[in-house]
Amino acid sequence: MKNVTIIGGGLAGLLTAIQLVRAQIPVTLFEKRHYPFHRVCGEYISNETLPFLKSLNLFPEHLQPSHINKFQLTSINGKAANLPLNLGGFGISRYALDHWLYQQALQDGVKVFHEEVTKIEYQENQFELSTSKSTISSDLIVGSFGKRSRLDINLGRSFIKKRSPYIGVKYHILTDHPPDLIALHNFKNGYCGISNIEDGKSNLCYLSHRDNLRNTGNIKTMEEEILYKNPFLKHIFQNSDFIFDEPETINEISFESKDPVEHHVLMCGDAAGMITPLCGNGMAIAIHSSKILSEQIIQFCSNPNFTRGELEDSYTKAWTSQFAARLRVGRQLQKLFGANVTSNLVVGMARSLKPLAHYLISKTHGRPF
Ligand SMILES: Cc1cc2nc3c(=O)[nH]c(=O)nc-3n(C[C@H](O)[C@H](O)[C@H](O)COP(=O)(O)OP(=O)(O)OC[C@H]3O[C@@H](n4cnc5c(N)ncnc54)[C@H](O)[C@@H]3O)c2cc1C
């Protein structure tokens, strides 16, 4: 039986591992960090994932996620538009969700190593992977190492050569936020989401241009001088208890297009392409891409006539037809956020042209799968 090695244990990697091991394929997963841990993420998951998660018995009902079906959009100067969310979503921390999926993966028989993979080599139909502790060989490799990894440099991927100006900041807070609402508040050169997760907590997470930080010197001053210009954000920051001592932060968030297969590595989740966070859809794409990829790998492992080349072509086609247009629309929409005039325009449009707003939301989301 062919074996599969998965690099990266976020949603894409853990769910691919579980699906493959349940199909009797031996799976090894490398995750460089130790669960449970926090990640920069808005932690709102689109309901398009529900049928799939439930079919695998992996919807985390027992963790009591919040259920969200309303959307509020505000402009930099505090104009607001309110819309129902047709499909809606649920809110759950990655700290709780990824940890639970990791435990499920272990229970199902996935071998997990907490080591960073530093090198991948492909020769004569076999991969060789290196970590600081070991070298192993594998028939197939799934690259689910997220938006940016040292392996992207090792593989010479082109997106990594361009610098990206975006930083991400996340807090968990206790605040008076309606449990069924996700709000997206604009500020100069950025936007901030707030929605509830489990245990009555809220997630406050924003994407900002790094110039905001450069010009103000530190995160707190940036928030006071730039985010507070939006009265909604000022109110939230001044009337909430912040649970973390320090926010979770990341930089160099890139939305450049990537290839779903590179050097024979099958990319999944953000490693194959990242949608702009304002769409609230990256996790749904990570989950959906794990489904598409697992189905193809299962076919490859069970059918000796299905070649590696056919697997790579067929996955590339399936990934592109399902996600490429959504990522493009997300990049275009993001250009409308973060400037006074356009953010007012978008909020005005969302207020008066609700069908158009729903149309744009539908263009960045998939159908339930
Ligand atoms: C500011 C911000 C807000 C967002 N908000 C939302 C939201 O509200 N809703 C939504 O759906 N999406 C949101 N997203 C997107 C979402 O977080 C990602 O799309 C999702 O996490 C992708 O999952 P993944 O499994 O592909 O990658 P990740 O969850 O990033 O997992 C990758 C894993 O790989 C590991 N890894 C990396 N390199 C190696 C290596 N060499 N060896 C071993 N392990 C390695 C990492 O430690 C990590 O655990 C947001 C993103 C940002 C930046």
Q: Is 279 in the pocket of ligand 1 (CB under 6 A)?
A: no
Give the pLDDT mean for 180-199: 96
Asked whether the predicted pLDDT for residue 48 surpasses 80, the reply is yes
Measure 5 CA to ligand 1 centroid, in angstroms: 18
Domain count for the chain, please give it.
Answer: 1
For residue 351, what pLDDT is reported?
Answer: 75
Q: Is 102 in the pocket of ligand 1 (CB under 6 A)?
A: no
Q: Tell me whether residue 284 is in a domain.
A: yes
Q: Tell me whether residue 296 is in a domain.
A: yes
Atom nearest to 12 CA in ligand 1:
25
Q: Tell me whether residue 216 is in a domain.
A: no
Give the pLDDT mean for 57-74: 97
Asked whether the predicted pLDDT for residue 352 surpasses 80, the reply is no
Q: Tell me whether residue 281 is in a domain.
A: yes
Q: Tell me whether residue 240 is in a domain.
A: no
The residue whose C-alpha atom lies closest to atom 3 belonging to ligand 1 is: 41
Q: Tell me whether residue 214 is in a domain.
A: no
Atom nearest to 182 CA in ligand 1:
8
From 145, 171, 210, the mutation candidate for ligand 1 (largest count of ligand atoms within 8 A of CB) is 145
Q: How many CB atoms lie within 10 A of CB 239?
A: 10
Q: Is 43 in the pocket of ligand 1 (CB under 6 A)?
A: yes
Q: Is 273 in the pocket of ligand 1 (CB under 6 A)?
A: no
Q: Is 284 in the pocket of ligand 1 (CB under 6 A)?
A: yes
Closest CA to 25 of 303, 356, 337: 303
Measure 11 CA to ligand 1 centroid, in angstroms: 8
Contacts of residue 12, Cβ cutoff 8 Å, sequence gap at least 6: 144, 268, 269, 270, 271, 286, 287, 289, 290
The residue whose C-alpha atom lies closest to atom 33 belonging to ligand 1 is: 8
Asked whether the predicted pLDDT for residue 353 surpasses 90, the reply is no
Q: What is the mean pLDDT of the chain?
A: 95
Q: Tell me whether residue 241 is in a domain.
A: no
Q: Is 9 in the pocket of ligand 1 (CB under 6 A)?
A: yes
For residue 336, what pLDDT is reported?
Answer: 82
Q: Is 247 in the pocket of ligand 1 (CB under 6 A)?
A: no
The residue whose C-alpha atom lies closest to atom 27 belonging to ligand 1 is: 146
The residue whose C-alpha atom lies closest to atom 19 belonging to ligand 1 is: 282
Strands in 126-131's sheet, in edge-to-edge order, are: 117-123, 126-131, 135-138
We report the CATH number of the domain holding residue 28 as 3.50.50.60
Q: Is 31 in the pocket of ligand 1 (CB under 6 A)?
A: yes
Band (346; pLDDT cuts 50, 70, 90): confident
* Boundaries of domain holding 55: 4-163+253-364
Closest CA to 179 of 69, 61, 88, 48: 69
d(C-alpha 213, C-alpha 69), whole Å: 33
Give the pLDDT mean for 37-55: 98
For residue 194, what pLDDT is reported?
Answer: 98
Query: Is the overall model pTM greater than 0.95, yes or no?
Result: yes
Q: Tell me whether residue 234 is in a domain.
A: no
Contacts of residue 227, Cβ cutoff 8 Å, sequence gap at least 6: 187, 190, 192, 206, 233, 234, 237
